[in-house]
Amino acid sequence: MKKTIKIIIITLLSLIALITITLTVLFTFFRDDNTSADESKSVPLTPVTEEPQFVSLTPVSEEFDSIALTTNMNMPDSIRRNLEDYDYLVSLVEMNYAPFSAIMEKGYEQEYRAMRKQLRQQVINEEIGIEKAASDYVFWFYSRFDKHIGIYTETFGKTANTLFPKDIEIVDYAPKAVSCKVDSCTWLIRVPSCDLSFTERTNDAFQQFVESGCENLIIDIRGNGGGVNVIWNNYYAALYDHPSKPNITWLRNTPENLEAWERYVDPNHPKKEWIQNFLNRCKSSKKEFVKVGVWTGDCGLQTTAHINRAAVLIDWNTASAAESLVTFVKECSDRAKVYGICNTTGCELTGECVFGALPNSKIELLYATTIGSMFYEHDFSNSPGIAPDIIIPLPYATTLTDNIDEWVLWVAEDLKR
């Protein structure tokens, strides 16, 4: 019996959480920045070469009208606890979430203030509880700007589901690793995850393609929720045709974020010393944003003849480190195109996620601590995520596991044209 696929956002957030402090420095072609954190100037909306500007808003508890003041003494404990959690959430996001200032600079401050105030009023009036208030507050960011923010509540999960395709009839949606020949000139590599544990098999799959004699390659990353960028190094080298524009990644330099980085860094991390030196530099800096590193736009590779034409298959569940490959193809490759029927998830412009918890309800928040300069250039009037170059004129596959499905067959033919 067919079943309707439901995108459970808690699962998606769990996948996104895999990237907590795997760090952008794992990306081989991402240059470490060793300049002083205090050398850059503060100029808004020009982060490609200069530091982003911090936007400070009046705290919600100070901005709010007299209702909170006049009712505070007689406020029931349940409302007081909810209000404390809500104010804590707002403060945590405004003071630590990396894209917050950029979003305000892009002209959304008035709308944000109204949303922030309305939800607080509803909490005080007992119209909504903290789960609903926190979920709606976070969803405002999640739905429009960045999927690297989320909250672990059932309400948020149900609301987030509304953003994804409806009534997709799929017998089995569980992509598995695949490396096989589609036809005489096309090879398929399906990569269901960018978890570090997939690196060896993903590299092996690429070597199998090289040895196959096939000239066209399909890289299927449907359902890939992310992990680490290092998994794509061989693919970057093979698909590279020309430099892209530079991109700088900035850490929002706050005590909470630095503490979280130190908490999540693996003691066996190959760049542990670099990370610790970077954190020490952040602690000694008074800047709100500190440069993590620079993607110069030129990875120093020579164009390879391994691939004649290539396709990257995406869907609504392609996220984070998987989106890094999509961005690379769009920026640096002429031989590869992105195929699909909808945008990717939309996690490619921020990263290095950490957790926070509300003091009373203990509801957990996931949020990004870094922002790339491309965030400032993105048009958020459209849907988040990366759009395909070529729309596949087919419905979603009825089965997506380790099979060669309808999309793969159609793309294989398109690559021959």
Write out pLDDT tens, residues 317-351: 899 899 999 999 999 999 999 999 999 988 888 98
- The torsion of the CA quartet 120, 126, 130, 135, rounded to 10 degrees, works out to -70
For residue 46, the one-letter residue type is T
How far apart CA 378 and CA 146 sit, in angstroms, is 11
User: pLDDT, tens digit, for every residue of 27-47?
Assistant: 333 444 444 333 333 233 344
DSSP 194: B
pLDDT above 70: percentage of residues in the chain: 78
The pLDDT tens digits for 42-55 are 233 344 456 676 66
pLDDT of residue 167: 52
Q: Using CB atoms within 10 Å of the CB of residue 111, give its burial: 0 to 12 exposed, 13 to 18 middle, 19+ buried.
A: exposed
How far out from the chain centre does Cα 241 lie? 25
What local confidence, expressed as pLDDT, does residue 19 receive? Answer: 41
What span, in angstroms and rounded, lies between the C-alpha atoms of 289 and 139? 25
Find tokens 């509803």 and name the residue: 122
At residue 133, the pLDDT reads 97
How confident is the model at residue 58, as a pLDDT?
A: 63
pLDDT for 126 beyond 50: yes
Residue 300, both tokens = 């120093």
Q: What is the pLDDT of residues 53-90, one digit of tens each?
A: 666 666 655 555 444 444 455 789 999 999 999 999 99
CA-based angle 314:348:204, to the nearest 5? 55
pLDDT at 379: 84
Give the confidence band of 273 by pLDDT, cuts at 50, 70, 90.
Answer: confident
**What average pLDDT does the segment 113-137 reach?**
97
Query: Which position has the higher pLDDT, 63 or 105?
Result: 105
Res 73: pLDDT: 56
- Residue 149's pLDDT is what? 95
**pLDDT for 171:** 54
- Can you tell me the distance from the alpha carbon of 417 to that of 402, in angstroms, rounded to the nearest whole number? 26
Helix (H, G, I), strand (E, B) or coil at 298: coil
**Banded pLDDT at 227 (limits 50, 70, 90):** confident
The pLDDT of residue 163 is 80
CB-based contact 214:185 (threshold 8 Å): yes
Judge if pTM exceeds 0.85: no
Residue 221, pLDDT above cutoff 60: yes
* pLDDT at site 397: 86
276 pLDDT higher than 70: yes
CB 281 within 8 A of CB 290: yes
Per-residue pLDDT at 5 exceeds 90: no
Domain boundaries, the chain: 170-347+382-415
Q: Across residues 173-196, what is the average pLDDT?
A: 95
Q: Does domain 170-347+382-415 have CATH number 3.10.580.10?
A: no
The pLDDT value given to residue 380:
84
pLDDT above 90: residue 251: yes
The two three-digit tokens of residue 386, written as one number: 């990366």
Place of tokens 């992509």: 175
Question: Are the C-beta atoms of 294 and 202 separated by less than 8 Å?
Answer: no
User: Higher pLDDT residue, 384 or 133?
Assistant: 133
Strand stretches in 121-175, DSSP E? 149-151, 169-170, 172-173
Q: At residue 8, does pLDDT exceed 80?
A: no
Q: In angstroms, what CA-CA distances link 243 with 25, 298, 302, 389?
A: 19, 4, 11, 19
Weakest mean pLDDT among 4-8, 56-60, 268-272, 402-406: 4-8
Residues 6+ apart with CB under 8 A from 353: 16, 17, 19, 20, 148, 366, 367, 368, 369
What's the mean per-residue pLDDT of the chain?
A: 83
Of 10-14, 104-108, 117-121, where does mean pLDDT reach its minimum?
10-14
> Quick one: pLDDT at residue 9?
41
Sorting pLDDT into bands at 50, 70 and 90, what band is 365?
very high
**Per-residue pLDDT tens digits for 142-180:** 999 999 999 999 999 888 888 876 655 555 689 999 999
- Token pair, residue 241, equals 């045709």
Q: What's the rounded Cα separation, in Å, for the pair 286 and 72? A: 36
Q: Are 159 and 142 in contact (CB under 8 A)?
A: no
What span, in angstroms and rounded, lies between the C-alpha atoms of 128 and 139? 15
Q: What is the pLDDT of residue 271?
A: 76
Q: Order of strands across the sheet with 186-190?
A: 178-183, 186-190, 216-220, 309-313, 336-340, 390-391
CB under 8 A, 24+ apart: contacts of 35-40: 35/291, 36/281, 37/253, 37/281, 37/282, 37/284, 37/285, 37/287, 37/290, 37/291, 38/285, 38/286, 38/287, 40/287, 40/291
Give me the pLDDT at residue 185, please. 96
Between the two ends of the chain, the Cα-to-Cα distance in Å is: 37
Averaged over 392-404, what is the pLDDT? 92
**Strand duo 309-313 + 216-220: pairing:** parallel
At residue 22 the predicted structure's pLDDT band, cuts being 50, 70 and 90, is very low
